[in-house]
Amino acid sequence: MTRLLLALSLLFTLAGPLHAQRAPNAPAEDGPTNVILMIPDGFGPASVTMARDFLRWRDGTTELPYDSLHVGSSRTFSAKSRITDSAAGGTALATGVKTYNGAIAVDTTKRPVGTLLEGAQRQGLATGLVATSRITHATPAVFSSHVPDRDQENEIARQQLNKEIDVLLGGGRRHFLPETMANSARNDERNLFETARRKGYQIVETANELSQTNTAPLLGLFSDGHMAYEIDRDQTQQPSLATMTETAIDALSDTREGYFLMVEGSRIDHAGHANDAAAHLHDIFAFNEAVNVALDAAHRDENTLVVIVSDHETGGLTLGRNRNGEGIYSWHPDALADVTASSAAIADSIRAHRSSNADPTTVRQRIADTLTRLTGVSDLSDERLDRLVDVEGKYTLGKAVSPIVNREALVGWTSHAHTAVDVSLYAYGPGANRFVGNHDNTYVSEALADLLDLNLTSVTEALRTTEASE
Ligand SMILES: [Zn+2]
Determine whether 86 is an active site residue: yes
Specify the higher pLDDT residue, 14 or 109. Answer: 109
The least confident of 227-241, 300-314, 456-470 is 456-470
Domains with residue ranges and CATH for the chain: 32-317+436-469 (3.40.720.10), 332-412 (no CATH)
Distance CA(130)–CA(142), nearest Å, equals 13
47, 74, 78, 86: which is the annotated catalytic residue?
Answer: 86
Average pLDDT over every residue of 287-316: 97
Specify the higher pLDDT residue, 40 or 7. Answer: 40
Rounded to the nearest angstrom, the distance between the alpha carbon of 101 and the centre of ligand 1 is: 11
Average pLDDT over every residue of 246-254: 97
Q: Tell me the residue type at 468.
A: A
Rounded to the nearest angstrom, the distance between the alpha carbon of 283 and the centre of ligand 1 is: 14
The least confident of 16-20, 296-300, 313-317, 341-345 is 16-20
Rounded to the nearest angstrom, the distance between the alpha carbon of 55 and the centre of ligand 1 is: 25
Rounded to the nearest angstrom, the distance between the alpha carbon of 41 and the centre of ligand 1 is: 5
> What was the pLDDT predicted at 129?
98
What share of the chain has pLDDT > 70, as a percent? 93
> What was the pLDDT predicted at 446?
98
Strand partners, 204: 220
| Average pLDDT for the chain | 93
Rounded to the nearest angstrom, the distance between the alpha carbon of 255 and the centre of ligand 1 is: 30
| Residue 256 pLDDT level (bands cut at 50, 70, 90) | confident
Average pLDDT over every residue of 231-251: 97
| Residue 7 pLDDT level (bands cut at 50, 70, 90) | very low
pLDDT in tens, 119-157: 999 999 999 999 999 999 999 999 999 999 999 999 999
pLDDT in tens, 164-173: 999 999 999 9
Rounded to the nearest angstrom, the distance between the alpha carbon of 42 and the centre of ligand 1 is: 5
